[in-house]
A and B are shown apart, each in its own frame.
Chain A
Amino acid sequence: MTPTEYEYLRKFLKDNSGLDLSADKQYLIESRLLPLARKAGLSGIPELVQKLQSGSRALITDVVEAMTTNETFFFRDKVPFDHFRDTIMPEVIKARAGRRSVRIWCAAGSTGQEPYSLAMCLKEMGAALTGWRVEIIATDLSQEVLEKAKAGIYSQFEVQRGLPIQMLVKYFKQTGETWQINPELRAMIQHRQLNLLHDFAQLGTFDVIFCRNVLIYFDQETKINIFNRLARQIEPDGFLVLGAAETVVGLTDTFRPIPDRRGLYKPNDPRAAAAKPALAGVAPRMAVMAGR
């Protein structure tokens, strides 16, 4: 791939998905797009770029989806799910004892492993949540990915990544070479298509937001914009969970890290945050639309 082709793809992805690749991500493009090019009967990346330049619409969607779909597996990174079980949920159960409901948003739900992992965590809590209304909303940019998440069907390879064998036996049903997550867990999750660059105020407010391994792809301004809008969708005592390589530090005062709980954040008092003029300066366009 020539530098010109790489630059074209960078700009193309930025414009079409908000994905912001740094100058050294050639390997990522090649590993994701070469299989796609081959599948489309093209000789390689250069021909793929030509096709994109000529405006092949189907290909545009495929390229965006291939580049924005994360490799994902059950209980990815493990620690966030320990936090969910040991820190987040005990606090939520106490704080919401009156209304007995909890709303959770997986903002980069991908092929479903993360929302289903959360559903399994909640099931494992058993009696503590009896009689509670539990809502998990899983959103993703890609329709194809959402369909897979909705079906909850995984290959033998996929169910062996991160999923303890006891959980597989307990929560999945085997059909030939594939495994499908039980209807009871599937019913806990609503799947919706959503681009984080667009307004998401209609989703309502949440007690817990998982937004992992998606913001790393965005540039700083977009990250700040998304954090500020996430802050409007989270309860004042709610939790935000970010990926291991992500942070709010240095970007926004709308959230603060929780000490000794890596990846866990709490919203700051909005009045305190609004008092910082530096934030007003980067207030994003879409924030106005989002309103509250």
Chain B
Amino acid sequence: MKTCLVVDDSSVVRKIARRILEGLEFQVTEAEDGSKALEICQRQLPDAVLLDWNMPVMDGFEFMGHMRRLPGGDQPKVVFCTTENNVAHIAQALSGGANEYIMKPFDKDIIADKFAEVGLIPVGQAMV
């Protein structure tokens, strides 16, 4: 079973994301900010990170930079999931090592499409 770390300071968003990702057969862990997420990644890297941008303590972009520098940190697929929906932010995320980018609000179809796009789930599964 693939693992996904959901990083978002909203417990409601984490809960919705967890439900969707568990439906896509991911084992889900949660973190409420970048610093807590980094601690989790230092113990064990997930296959995927669904990552909010604006969070207290450490934001998503900074977290991604730290995570990418961990041994094996280039492996997890990072999918941003944020209300930052302008091209400048998207471009910054991509050049900083993000694999995909979701603009909130999101739903199951969008998550499935984006996860299929980066090879986390087979394409067929996204269409169900």
- Please give the residue numbers on chain A whose beta carbons come within 8 Å of chain B beta carbons, in ascending order: 73, 77-79, 156-157, 160-162, 164-166, 168-169, 174, 177
Ordered by A's residue number, 14 sampled pairs between the chains whose C-beta atoms are within 8 Å are: A77-B127, A78-B116, A78-B123, A157-B107, A160-B106, A160-B110, A161-B109, A164-B117, A165-B94, A165-B114, A168-B90, A169-B87, A169-B94, A174-B86
- Name A's interface SS: loop
A218 to B114, CA, bound (A): 32
* Contacts A77-B127, A166-B94, A169-B94 given; does A160 touch B102 at CB 8 Å: yes
| B84 beta carbon closer than 8 Å to chain A | no
Best-buried of A165, A168, A169 by chain B (most CB within 10 Å): A165
Asked whether, in the complex, the Cβ of B87 is within 8 Å of the Cβ of A160, the reply is no
The 7 A-B pairs of least Cβ separation, nearest first, read: A165-B101, A160-B110, A78-B123, A156-B103, A165-B100, A164-B117, A174-B87
Q: Given the complex, which residues of A lie within 8 Å of B127, measured CB to CB?
A: 77
Best-buried of B86, B90, B113, B127 by chain A (most CB within 10 Å): B113
A79 to B102, CA, bound (A): 23
| B75 beta carbon closer than 8 Å to chain A | no
Q: Give the distance to chain A from B49, nearest Cβ to Cβ, in Å.
A: 15
A157 to B105, CA, bound (A): 8
* Contacts A78-B123, A79-B123, A156-B103 given; does A169 touch B91 at CB 8 Å: yes
- Please give the residue numbers on chain B whose beta carbons come within 8 Å of chain A beta carbons, in ascending order: 85-87, 90-91, 94, 100-103, 106-107, 109-110, 113-114, 116-117, 123, 127
For A160, the closest partner residue in chain B by CB is: B110
A162 to B111, CA, bound (A): 10
Q: Given the complex, which residues of A lie within 8 Å of B101, measured CB to CB?
A: 165
A174 to B107, CA, bound (A): 21
Asked whether, in the complex, the Cβ of A161 is within 8 Å of the Cβ of B100, the reply is no
Q: Give the distance to chain B from A145, nearest Cβ to Cβ, in Å.
A: 20
Asked whether, in the complex, the Cβ of A161 is within 8 Å of the Cβ of B85, the reply is no
A275 to B7, CA, bound (A): 65
Q: Given the complex, which residues of A lie within 8 Å of B116, measured CB to CB?
A: 78
A58 to B115, CA, bound (A): 42
Asked whether, in the complex, the Cβ of A162 is within 8 Å of the Cβ of B87, the reply is no
Q: Give the distance to chain B from A173, nearest Cβ to Cβ, in Å.
A: 8
A85 to B91, CA, bound (A): 26
Asked whether, in the complex, the Cβ of A161 is within 8 Å of the Cβ of B87, the reply is no
A77 to B94, CA, bound (A): 25
For B93, the closest partner residue in chain A by CB is: A165
Q: Give the distance to chain B from A244, nearest Cβ to Cβ, in Å.
A: 9
Q: Given the complex, which residues of A lie within 8 Å of B94, measured CB to CB?
A: 165-166, 169
Q: Given the complex, which residues of B lie within 8 Å of A169, measured CB to CB?
A: 87, 90-91, 94
Asked whether, in the complex, the Cβ of B110 is within 8 Å of the Cβ of A165, the reply is no
Q: Give the distance to chain A from B80, nearest Cβ to Cβ, in Å.
A: 9
A157 to B114, CA, bound (A): 12
A67 to B46, CA, bound (A): 43
A157 to B102, CA, bound (A): 10
Q: Given the complex, which residues of A lie within 8 Å of B102, measured CB to CB?
A: 160
Best-buried of B91, B94, B116, B117 by chain A (most CB within 10 Å): B117
